[in-house]
Amino acid sequence: MARLHHDADADTDNDRYAERQFVQDEEEHEKEEDEDKDRESRSGFASTPAPLSPIVSSSGADIETGQQGNNNGNSNDNDSEGEVEPVVTPKTWVVAMILSAGYGLSFWPIPAVSAVGELLVAEEFGEDVTAANWFVPAWTIAITVCFMICGSNTDVLGRRWFLVGGNLVCTVGHVIIATARSAHQMTAGLAVEGFGAACCQMAAFALPELLPNKWRHIAVVIADATIYVAVTVAPATARYAYESGAWQWNFGAPAVFQFLSFLGLYFLYFPPALPAGLPLRRALAEIDYPGIALFVLGAVPVLTGIVWAGIYTSSSNAHVVAPLTVGGVFLTHGWALHPLTPPRIFTASRGRDFTAPVLALTVANMFYYSSSILWPTMIAVQLAVPQGLRWQWQLTGAVFVTVLFGALLGLATPRNRGAMLAFVFVSQAGLGWALYLSIMLAQMGVEQRDLGISGGVAGAFRFAGGAVVTSVYRTILNKQLSHWTPRLISTTALSAGLPAAELPLLIQTLSSSLGGAVPAGTPPAVAAAATEALKQA
In tens digits, what is the pLDDT along the chain, a chain of 537 residues?
Answer: 333 333 334 333 334 433 443 344 444 445 445 544 444 443 333 333 333 334 433 333 344 433 333 333 344 444 444 556 667 888 888 999 999 999 999 999 988 998 888 889 888 888 887 788 888 888 988 988 888 888 778 878 888 999 999 999 999 999 999 999 999 999 999 999 999 998 998 887 788 778 877 777 677 778 777 887 888 888 889 988 988 889 999 999 999 999 999 999 999 999 888 877 788 888 888 787 887 888 888 778 888 877 777 666 566 666 666 666 666 555 445 555 556 666 666 666 666 666 666 666 666 555 555 555 444 444 444 443 444 446 677 777 877 887 788 778 778 777 787 888 888 788 777 777 777 677 666 666 666 666 656 666 666 666 666 666 666 666 677 677 777 778 888 888 788 877 878 788 887 777 766 655 677 777 888 778 777 777 776
Q: What is the pLDDT of residue 428?
A: 74
Reference 258, options 203, 337, 211, 297; nearest CA is 203
Could you give the C-alpha distances from 9 to 36, 74, 204, 302, in angstroms and in order? 15, 16, 34, 55
Q: What is the pLDDT of residue 7?
A: 39
Q: Distance between CA atoms of 139 and 157, rounded to whole angstroms? A: 25
pTM value > 0.85: no
Q: What is the pLDDT of residue 80?
A: 42
Backbone angles phi, psi at 224, to 5 degrees: -95, 0
Angular region, 18: left φ>0, alpha ψ -120 to 50, beta rest: alpha
Mapping DSSP to helix (H, G, I), strand (E, B) and coil, where does residue 57 land?
strand
Q: What is the pLDDT of residue 366?
A: 59
Could you give the C-alpha distances from 532 to 17, 346, 491, 495, 496, in angstroms and in order? 72, 51, 12, 13, 12
Q: Distance between CA atoms of 11 and 77, rounded to whole angstroms? A: 10
